[in-house]
Amino acid sequence: MAFLQSSTKRTIKRFKIDSRNLNTFITSIESTPLGENWPVVYLLHNDHYENNSGSIEKLLYIGESTSASRRMREHFSRTNKNFESRIKLNEADIIFDETFNKSAILDIEQELIRMFGADSSNYSLQNRNDGQSTQHQYYERDSYYTSLKQIWNDLRSPSVSMAKDSFEDVRNSNLFKYSPYTALTAEQVKVCDDILDKLIYSLKEKDKFNAIIEGYAGTGKTVVLIKVLSELIRLSKMSPSYYNDNNVKNESQFDDDDSDSAISDIERKDKDVARSALIKAACPKGLRVAYVVPLSELLKPFRAVIKSVSGDPSIVKSASEIANDPDRFDVIFVDEAHRLGTINKFGVNKDPYKQACRNALGINYVSGMSNSPTELDWIIAKSNNCVFVYDKNQKVRCHQSISNKVFETLVLNKTHSVPYTLKMQMRCKAGNQYVAFLNDLFSNNINRETPIPPWKGYDFRYYDDIAQMISDINSFNVHDKCGLSRVVAGYGWRWLTQGKKRSSIKSIPTKDWDIHIDGHDYFWNTQNGNFIFDADTNEIGCVHTVQGFDLNYVGIIIGPEIEYDSKQGFLINRNNIFDSGVKTRDKDYLLELTIRSYKVMMERGIRGCYVYACHPSVKDYLKSHIPSVEAAQANLDIKITGCINELTSLSVSSGGRRITNKIAIRKEDLDDISDRNDQLKSINTIEVDGNKTYYVHEVITSADGEYYIFSVSDSLPFPADDDYLL
């Protein structure tokens, strides 16, 4: 029976799965409109399954098909290899939607798998495959993203009660962003496959192999690293009997490889069989891998991520844990290798460093030793095969982390090392043009080839008022907004509150806080919390707290350590640098490190970046190239504030722009109200700012497919029954 139906003719129907009478279950689907020959997404689940130990589990399988009834027959056929797993599921929630097509259901299936993997509803996913193997574009993909949000909200509703966390909370989480179910771009798939093949060959031949994944911030380097790790672990654990000759030739026996699926092909299965056999032969005692995170504060979040990949969070280790492990590793994966430490990372107490050198390298460190070993030396000594994520442009410390020269000598220049460069910008909605702009901006090289803001879909603006910028950033963190928005700054203030808890800092006079700008007081991020997911409205982060993370919006305070000269470009004031990790006598290198830190921070924002500068010369330079608050607001999308009489009239906010004869409304926003294009034909009027009504003459879709363009006037259209175009 239908238990949840939307106004857009999307229906979620729940069917009981009776293992004693499966024909009744399947017949009931056949008798449902769209049940036999229409694209659907479905969720098979059991919210109270009692396992062999007597514990209660929540089980879930998510799939898609062009025929719900046929797919259910396949799932619950006793010849199906996964029958024993599927028969544990006692309910089927099927999403029927007249607007679905094959591309859309593949996308929605993959996104729901990722989201339930990150949701706190704690379902154990039965899905063996990864949904789609490759991201692809298709007609009106944006509108289906909006449908996904509506579907998720339906799944959270009391009548369905499957999903628990909000759409925004799930998609902001590390578990979602680094999910093993993430669909990769074609570029990323190619890199993953080549690294896997070379790793497996090296294991087989007892050889050496280093893969170096490079690319600008936001190109998905960590996603690729985790994907290679998850695939290697999956292949190493594949049951020897999972694919036999007959099964490989008979796809119908593999119910989590739908015959319609983008990844269900014989070639993929054959490749899996071959790879799995090679890994097992090369590692008869089992594959031993490690995932190294250079910063201690990242160990906990990444252990949660890797647990979702492998079930074993202990795979995530610090470099010291690698060094002190008594055994070697078959493969070591290293995220953000540019942050691996030198002896200076260990401060005054060098005992842990000496112990690691002794255990990993068999040497006794003595003070003053030339070419002191680094964490990179330890890692290389513990495995013949390493996969590094490395970005020389994100090295922002001079003494505590390895130099580019050290990495080149120990890794890049080796004959068994292969670099892979990712180029497609996956984080920032402004894409590669934003990265190119930042490079030219900080190189004092804005020219006719430089991509110039504003860019539709990305909110980039300069502020003269620091308090307003911080307030605007904090406004995204309130209920029902996108969240995950933070303010960060450069090296221009002492950390006077270091070591204090947030509650203690807020109890002292604000004049004793760390950062003072234009009569406003703020403090550096506290050590007793995770700044990314838990920050006070007066708390300011730095490059070290946001590097490696995504934010929805980022606010940047460019401090007094940076000045600007029209002929020389950016200049550094060493006296205003208060981070010992970047202090160096080489003034040019100090400037380079400082500029790098600002670029890294400005590349954190997915949806937008807000900028404020302290020094007057920098203010003037940035204001000449970055849109003002007013200009940026005028570039923002017209916002829908309501609809009247079932979408015969819209009310919108103009954001202060002048309306003439065109009103552009982002499809994603309008599809929040209606995801059926034919309903757009019923929109007769648009009320702007509550005081002016325009009549709609025509509706078309913009060339880039992202906007509906309404042709309007303040008089009635002629003829009165004009047939609006789509």
Answer whether residue 650 shows pLDDT above 60. Answer: yes
Mean pLDDT value across residues 549-556: 93
Answer whether residue 554 shows pLDDT above 60. Answer: yes
Structure tokens at 123: 């379902």
Mean pLDDT value across residues 569-588: 91
Residue 470, domain member (yes or no): yes
Same domain? 348 vs 232? yes
Residue 54 CB: number of other CB atoms within 10 A?
6
Residue 721, domain member (yes or no): no
Residue 180, domain member (yes or no): no
Answer whether residue 45 shows pLDDT above 70. Answer: yes
Q: Which CATH number goes with the domain that contains 301?
A: 3.40.50.300
Using 50, 70 and 90 to split pLDDT, how confident is the model at 430?
A: confident
> What does the mean pLDDT of the chain come to?
86
Q: Are 562 and 489 in contact (CB under 8 A)?
A: no
Cα–Cα distance measured from residue 342 to residue 377, given in angstroms and rounded to the nearest whole number: 10
Residue 647, domain member (yes or no): yes
Give the pLDDT confidence score for residue 679 in this predicted structure: 61
Q: Torsion angle, CA of 615/617/622/624, rounded to 10 degrees?
A: 150
Mean pLDDT value across residues 632-651: 71
Same domain? 445 vs 340? no
Of the residues 422, 457, 492, which one is the last residue of a structural domain? 422
Cα–Cα distance measured from residue 441 to residue 416, given in angstroms and rounded to the nearest whole number: 37
38-42, 76-80, 166-170, 237-241: which has the highest mean pLDDT?
Answer: 38-42
Identify the residue whose tokens are 């040497």.
Answer: 363
Among candidate residues 576, 485, 585, 605, the one with its CA nearest the CA of residue 533: 485
Cα–Cα distance measured from residue 531 to residue 325, given in angstroms and rounded to the nearest whole number: 31
Q: Give the H/E segment covering residue 668.
A: helix 667-671
Same domain? 530 vs 406? no
Same domain? 16 vs 135? yes
> 367-371 long-range CB contacts below 8 Å, 24 or more apart?
none
Kind of pairing, strands 56-65 and 40-50? antiparallel
Same domain? 51 vs 87? yes
- Least confident stretch, 266-275, 358-367, 513-522, 568-577: 266-275
Identify the residue whose tokens are 């996964």.
Answer: 82
Give the pLDDT confidence score for residue 250 in this predicted structure: 41
Q: Which strands sit side by side in the sheet containing 515-517, from one edge to the other?
A: 515-517, 520-524, 539-540
Looking at the structure of the chain, the number of domains it has is 4
Give the pLDDT confidence score for residue 529 in this predicted structure: 58
Cα–Cα distance measured from residue 583 to residue 156, given in angstroms and rounded to the nearest whole number: 51
More confident residue, 638 or 553: 553
Q: Are 665 and 705 in contact (CB under 8 A)?
A: no
Same domain? 403 vs 461? no
Answer whether residue 258 shows pLDDT above 50. Answer: no
Give the pLDDT confidence score for residue 48 in this predicted structure: 95
Cα–Cα distance measured from residue 183 to residue 134, given in angstroms and rounded to the nearest whole number: 5
What is the domain range of residue 75? 2-169
Same domain? 625 vs 642? no
String of b and e for 712-724 (b: at least 16 CB within 10 Å)?
beeeebeeeeeeb
Q: Which amino acid is at 416?
A: H
Cα–Cα distance measured from residue 319 to residue 331, given in angstroms and rounded to the nearest whole number: 14
527-541, 584-598, 643-657: which has the highest mean pLDDT?
Answer: 584-598
Give the pLDDT confidence score for residue 93 in this predicted structure: 97
Residue 132, domain member (yes or no): yes
Percent of the chain predicted with pLDDT > 90:
57
Using 50, 70 and 90 to split pLDDT, how confident is the model at 263?
A: very low
Mean pLDDT value across residues 38-64: 94
Residue 453, domain member (yes or no): yes
Residue range 148-205, pLDDT digits in tens:
888 999 999 999 999 999 998 999 888 888 887 787 888 999 999 999 999 999 999 9
More confident residue, 553 or 532: 553
Percent of the chain predicted with pLDDT > 70:
87
Identify the residue whose tokens are 């175009």.
Answer: 725
Identify the residue whose tokens are 């009569």.
Answer: 519
- Least confident stretch, 122-136, 281-295, 543-557: 122-136
Answer whether residue 716 shows pLDDT above 80. Answer: no
Of the residues 117, 142, 169, which one is the last residue of a structural domain? 169
Same domain? 406 vs 509? no
Mean pLDDT value across residues 598-603: 95
Answer whether residue 262 shows pLDDT above 50. Answer: no
Same domain? 201 vs 91? no
pTM: 0.78
Mean pLDDT value across residues 674-686: 68
With a CB cutoff of 8 Å and minimum separation 6, the contacts of 361 are 373, 377, 378, 381
Residue 505 exposed, middle or buried by CB count within 10 Å (0-12, 13-18, 19+): buried
Structure tokens at 206: 């007892």
- Least confident stretch, 36-45, 83-92, 534-543, 631-640: 631-640
Give the pLDDT confidence score for residue 470 in this predicted structure: 97
Residue 267, domain member (yes or no): no
Of the residues 142, 169, 196, which one is the last residue of a structural domain? 169
More confident residue, 347 or 377: 377
Same domain? 451 vs 573? yes
Using 50, 70 and 90 to split pLDDT, how confident is the model at 703?
A: low
Residue 254, domain member (yes or no): no
State the DSSP code for 445: -
- Least confident stretch, 65-69, 275-279, 722-726: 722-726
Same domain? 492 vs 628? yes
Mean pLDDT value across residues 279-295: 95
3-state secondary structure 264-328: CCHHHHHHHHHHHHHHHHHCCCCCCEEEECCCHHHHHHHHHHHHHHHCCHHHEECHHHHHHCCCC
Cα–Cα distance measured from residue 598 to residue 348, given in angstroms and rounded to the nearest whole number: 29
- Least confident stretch, 43-57, 246-260, 326-340, 551-565: 246-260
Same domain? 613 vs 475? yes
Give the pLDDT confidence score for residue 416 in this predicted structure: 97
Kind of pairing, strands 385-389 and 209-215? parallel
Using 50, 70 and 90 to split pLDDT, how confident is the model at 647?
A: low
